[in-house]
Copies of this chain bind each other. A is one copy, B any other.
Amino acid sequence: MTAETRPVDHVIAALRAFMGDRVTTNTAIREQHSHGEDTTTPVLPDAVAFAETTEEVSQIVALCHRHEVPVVPFGAGTSLEGHVTPVRRGITLDLSRMNAILDVSQEDMDCLIEPGVTRHQLNDHLRDQGLFFPVDPGSHCTIGGMCATRASGTNAVRYGTIRENVLGLEVVLADGRVINTGGRVRKAANGYDLTRLIIGSEGTLGIVTKIRLRLHGIPEATSAAVVQFEDLRGCVESVIQVMQLGVPVARIELLDEVQMAACIAHSKLDNLQPLPTLFLEFHGTEAGVKEQAEAVQEIVNGMGGLGFAWAADSETRNKLWTARHNAYYAAIASRPNVRGVTTDVCVPISRVADAILGAKEDIAESGLSAPMVGHVGDGNFHTVILVDQDDPTALDRAWALDRKIVARGLSLGGTCSGEHGVGMGKAEFLEQEHGMEALAVMRSIKAALDPKGILNPGKIFRN
C-alpha cells in the first residue's frame, strides 16, 4: 500500500480477508446505506460490511478501533432522525443478516433474538405459541434498531416501551470486547443497569448483537373501534380522561383531520370522514374488554364523540391498524413531490391539549401542511411537516416550524423526542432539555466507553 492509503482502506482490506464479498464498496449499496427515512443530507460510507455473527461484529469493530475509523450500525434504515447517516463516513455495519430467532421460551415468556429480526418476523414466528411482542413503532424496523432508539409506538400505553420489554443484551464494545447485560430475570438489583444505558444510546456506546425480550400472552379477547369527533379538543380531552380514569386501553391513537384525509385516500378507509379521530384497541378477558370499551364509550359520548364504529373481525382490525401504521407514508403521499420532517414531542398528560392545540396553531401560522398523529395516551404526538422538494425555502421553513413545536413542548415540561431518538435531528435541543451538566455526564460516559469516538459519531451530541 502507498503512503496515501487512508486508515479506512486498511480496515477494508483486512475485512475482505475474512468477509470476502460481504464487505463492499459498491456505490449502489453505499447509497442505500447513506440515509434513513429522514431529510438528512445523505453521506456515503466508505464501505458496507454485512456481518453474520457476534464474532464478526467484534472483529470489525476492533479493526475500526485500531485504525480509528467510524462504525455506523444499520438495521432496516427506517430511522427518522439521521441515525444511520455515516456523517464521518467509515464502515457501515449492516446487521440485517443477523436475523435468527435463537430461542423462544413459552414457560418464561421470553425469547433470544439477533438484532436484525424485525418485529413482524418475530410476531409471525410467535403466533402459534400464543405469545406476542407488543412494542410496535409501526415501521418495518429491526428490533436492534428499536433498542438503539428506545422505540415505543401504539401499544406502549399498555405494555411499555422497548425499555420495559428488554431483559438483557449482548453488546460489542468500542474496542471489540463482548459483554452481556441483564439476563433473564424480571427484576434485579445487581449493579449498574447497563441494559438501560445501552437502550437509547443510538449505537454510540456499543453495538447490540443479541437481545433477550420479554413476551406477553396473546390476550383472550381483543376488540378495536374508531370514534370520530367534530373538533380536535374533544378528541384530545377524551384521551386524557381515559388515562386519568386508569382504563387499561391497549392502544389509543389520535389522528387529526388532515392525517385522516390522507389515510382515507391512501388506505381506502371509505366509511370514515376527514375528522379528528381515535383508533382504539382493547385487550383482556371477554368481560374485561367489554368493561373497558363501555368506560371509554361513556367518556367519548360526553366529549362530542360521534359514536363507536367497531372493528370486530380481525380483517377489519388489521385494515385499521395497517392504515395507522402507514400514516407516515399516507402523509407523504398526500402531496406531490414532498418529503417529511417529523416532530416527536412528548409531554405530561395534563399538557397534551395545550401541546397539540398549540402545535395546530403553529402549523396554521406556518402555511405548511403537517398531518398529525399521536400516541396520546403517553403524551406523545407527531406532525409530519410536508416539504415541497421544488421549493428551495420549504425545508428551512419546516425546520423553523419543528423548532417552534419542540420549544412549546419543552416549555410544557416535555421532551424533544418521545420515541424516534435524538440522532442528528434533535441534538440541538438536548442542552435546553437536560441542562449543560447532565449533558456533560452523558459525554463523560461516552468518553469512558468509546474514548476514540468511533461509534456512530455525530449522533446525540452535536460535536
Chain A residues close to B by CB (< 8 Å):
105-110, 149-152, 156, 160-161, 163-164, 173, 177-181, 183-194, 196-197, 199-201, 205, 216-217, 219, 240, 244-246, 285, 287-288, 291, 344, 346-350, 378-380, 413-422, 426, 430, 433-435, 437-439, 441-442, 444-449, 460
Contacts and interface: CB of A to CB of B under 8 A. Distances in A.
Nearest 3 Cβ contacts at the A-B interface: A196-B196, A107-B350, A448-B448
A376 to B, nearest CB: 11
A346 B446 CA distance: 31
8 contacts: A107-B240, A150-B193, A181-B434, A185-B346, A186-B379, A194-B441, A197-B197, A217-B246
Contacts of A152: 187, 189
B194 A378 contact: no
Determine how many copies of this chain the complex contains. 2
A426 to B, nearest CB: 7
Nearest to A284: B288
Given A107-B349, A183-B413, A448-B448, A421 B216 contact: no
A180 B430 CA distance: 13
A413 B184 contact: yes
A421 B200 contact: no
Contacts of A435: 179-180
Contacts of A200: 189-193
A418 B188 contact: yes
A149 B438 contact: no
Given A160-B164, A187-B346, A445-B449, 7 more contacts: A179-B434, A189-B421, A190-B426, A192-B205, A194-B441, A194-B442, A448-B448
Nearest to A110: B348
Contacts of A192: 197, 200-201, 205, 442, 445-446, 460
B188 A193 contact: no
Nearest to A149: B189
A173 B444 CA distance: 13
A193 B449 contact: no
B107 A438 contact: no
A450 to B, nearest CB: 11
Given A183-B413, A244-B109, A445-B445, A189 B418 contact: yes
